Structure 1
């Protein structure tokens, strides 16, 4: 560009036969000095083209920023979305098991007092599962081993599967002994399998709730960022 003493950053191609008139820099500046009308038109065109270039540059910057933001958002959404998908699949399996477990429990000879105790146990276990006991890995492993051994000694099938969920809900061997004292030993297996499935379902619901909440936060942040340039000054 002669005004900036730089090459014009654009190329072009003629579609028809044209005639070009080439001015040397000295001749160009002399023309501007002697022809005010030409100078005015050239400056006007230069200003218009400068505005166009500025608008294009801003648009390109926005597209680059949008691409970066989209990639980051996709990465952030991946983890909670995967957690929701996994949680829904596992919850569907639990919901299929619960009716059978509840039916087995209903077939046990439980008195009204024992049913009330089961309801109390259920409420306390749910509260314990929601609060999530925070144990260090060694303490948790020892607690799960102790519960698993207790379940095996009391002929509870698949005790190793039940132990992690029971420990998370705050049910240790002492609490298991209390349950046996309050409920017939013959019923303990059905009670614990039903309780473990229920606690697992509650845990999955909490996980889904947290994940969907995280997704909502990310979407809201994205919307706020998108409308940031429209906010009043």
Structure 2
């Protein structure tokens, strides 16, 4: 059994956490704390376990991790001597549940100064009674405020995104409903006209030819090129005139659908030759219903495809069915965010996508990056006040990907520019913003992705530049059995 290794008061004073303590306090810590080592890759303590010890890093590198929806997310990584973690709230006693709030891992072989939670709590209570009251007030007050503000912010964000998504879904859904109702009427009309044509008075040869013309009309409608408004009007006039001349009732009602399906006057003449003048009215209506049916089915298909695309964009935006960190397509994330914010983009704002086609995928937390894009685009739209150009630009450098969010608003005043990433700092009116959007974006880009976020602004142009490193796929690591805090 090895002897317990301890630090001398002089060694403890070299740690920034203890440098202001007096000699007696350092001696007290020296007698009660001990030095422990952890092998690289091991777990120093695990999230959710009883918080029994307070750890101060003496050497090596460590990472802090949190569990979120079953995924292990690295919050920070450091090798700075003197950083601390563990039973941080021991001074609160049994007023809060004493559990580790995160998981501490030794990235490399690491050495710690370890103090039990009870002894750490005793030192705080006895040495800093006034600070203890301030910390208690700060902890409970901040927790209550964060709970209220956080719930409100989440509800507002959810309501805003839900409103935007439902607004976008409403248009194709309503279009599909209208087209389905119209399709039902057209199919009923087709059945009626088919009965008139096929009542036995049309010989089989002509009926067979009419069916072939129907198939040809379907193919022609599917391949019909889009027309200009003037070209469509001219085609409708020509068809309606021909139909009226040949005694077809309701010619001006039939012409628009036939023109949209690419039907021409010579083609109608072929129909007359096939069925004869006596059955021309019923045959033309039957074919018109056929074309209209195809166009309506195309409209329904387009509406359902748009709905499917919106649902896909929502899944891409939320990243709910994806791992926390994975190789992501930055363009897909930007497009999903634009789709989710489409209802918030005013008619007077033009959106320009200047994407690098050779942009590589990057290892990233997709949902968090979508939060960054949301914050930056939302701020850009606010800055333009309903009129301007929003530009999303991507480009690649040797070891990183750059994403620019550019607006043509009034710009950020030079005197406030250094503070825009500070928490709770906002230039918006009271109640209009929390001042957390850019702070959260900065922490996501810098702390979680090891990147950088910068701002360049002058009247008429503001550009937020997000730099994200291009990192290779991590090798699979062998599983390591967790180790609890040492005794």
**Which TM class, normalised by the smaller chain length?**
0.7 to 0.9
1:197 aligns with 2:286: no
Q: CA deviation at 1:38?
A: 4.7
Q: Distance in 1 between matches of 2:278 and 2:248?
A: 10
More helix by share: 1
Match 2:193 to one of 101, 116, 121: 101
Once residues 232 and 321 of structure 2 are traced to their aligned partners in structure 1, the CA distance between those partners, rounded to angstroms, is 50
Q: Using a 3 Å threshold, how does the CA distance of structure 1 residues 230 and 103 change in structure 2: closer, same or farther?
A: closer
The structure-2 alpha-carbon separation of the partners of 1:38 and 1:127, relative to structure 1 and needing over 3 Å to count, comes to same
Q: Residue 217 of structure 1: CA displacement?
A: 2.3
What CA distance in whole angstroms lies between the structure 2 residues aligned with 1:201 and 1:99?
Answer: 12
For residues 91 and 137 of structure 1, the distance between their equivalents in structure 2, rounded to whole angstroms, comes to 24
Match of residue 305 from structure 2: 213
3-state SS in 2 of match to 1:133: coil
Greater gyration radius: 1
Q: Secondary structure at the match of 1:104?
A: helix
Runs of 4+ in 1 over 6 A off after TM superposition: none
2:228 is the alignment partner of 1:136: yes
How far apart in 2 are the matches of 1:149 and 1:86?
A: 29
After TM superposition, give the deviation of residue 105 of structure 1 in Å.
0.9
| Other-structure match for 1:188 | 280
Equivalent position of 2:132 in the other structure? 40
Deviations 1:24-62 (A, max 9, x none): xxxxxxxx9x95245335424523443443344333222
Q: Which has the higher contact order (CA 8 A, sep 6+)?
A: 1
* 1:226 Cα offset (Å): 3.7
- The residue number in structure 1 matching 2:443 is none
The match for 1:72 among 164, 181, 189 is 164
In structure 2, runs of 5+ residues without a counterpart are 1-123, 326-487
1:63 aligns with 2:155: yes
Q: Counterparts of 1:110 and 1:133 in 2: how far apart (Å)?
A: 34
Q: 1:128·1:168 contact (CA, 8 Å) conserved in 2?
A: no
Partner of 1:28: none
The runs of 5 or more residues in structure 1 that have no matched partner are: 1-31
**Alpha-carbon distance in 1 for matches of 2:317, 2:257:** 41
1:147 counterpart = 2:239: yes
1:81-109, CA deviations, whole angstroms, 9 ceiling, x for partnerless residues?
22122112212222322221110010264
CA contact (8 A) 1:108 1:187 kept: no
Q: 2 CA distance for matches of 1:229 and 1:186?
A: 62
Give the CA deviation at 1:79: 1.3
Question: 1:116 deviation in Å?
Answer: 3.0
Distance 1:161 1:229 in 2: 49
Q: Distance in 2 between matches of 1:134 and 1:35?
A: 81
- Alpha carbons 2:214, 2:287 under 8 Å: kept: yes
**How much is the aligned-residue C-alpha RMSD, in angstroms?**
2.7
Q: Any conservation in 2 of the 1:165–1:199 contact (CA below 8 Å)?
A: yes
| Cα deviation, residue 142, structure 1 | 1.5
- Partners of 1:36 and 1:230 lie apart in 2 by 47
Question: What does 1:21-36 correspond to in 2, within 5 Å?
Answer: 36=128
Q: Does 1:116 align with 2:199?
A: no
